[in-house]
Amino acid sequence: MLRPIPDTTIFDLRLARRGQRLNRLCASLCKPENREAFKRDEDAYMARYGLSEAEKALIRRRDFQGLIEAGTNIYFLLKIGSVTGTGLYKMGAQMRGESYEQFLASRNIRGAT
C-alpha cells in the first residue's frame, strides 16, 4: 500500500474515481473540433460532461492544483492547459505559488522549453 508523500498527489484508483468526469472531459480535448467547441463556449462544453458546480468552478478559475486534488490526472490536465493557453511550466508555477519568472529562475537551464 502507498503512504502519503508531502506536497504530492498520488493518482490512485480512489482519486481516479473522483475525477472520472473531469478526466473524460480532458480526454475529449484530444479532438480538434472539441478543442474548438471548448474555446467557443466553455460552460456549454462543461455541461456536456456532467461536472459538478465545484468542478466547473475549478476550471473557470484555472485552479490547476485544485483540479489535481479533485482527481484530474496531470497528463489529462495538460489538455485543459492546451485549450486555455496555459503550458505545463505556467501550471507548475501556479502550483508552487510562484510567478512564472520566479519558477524559471529556479531551473538549471531555463532555455530548454
Question: Residue numbers of the site for another protein (CB under 8 A)?
Answer: 2-3, 5-13, 16, 20, 23-24, 26-27, 29-32, 35, 65, 68, 73-76, 78-79, 82-83, 88-89, 91-93, 95-97, 103, 106-113
Nearer to another protein, 27 or 56 (CB): 27
- 3-class secondary structure for 16-71? HHHCHHHHHHHHHCCCHHHHHHHHHCHHHHHHHCCCCHHHHHHHHCCCHHHHHHCC
Set of cell numbers at residue 39? 474555446
Nearer to another protein, 37 or 83 (CB): 83
Nearer to another protein, 56 or 92 (CB): 92
Please state the closest distance from residue 40 (CB atom) to another protein, in A.
Answer: 17
Return all residues near 3 (Cβ < 8 A) that are at least 6 apart: none
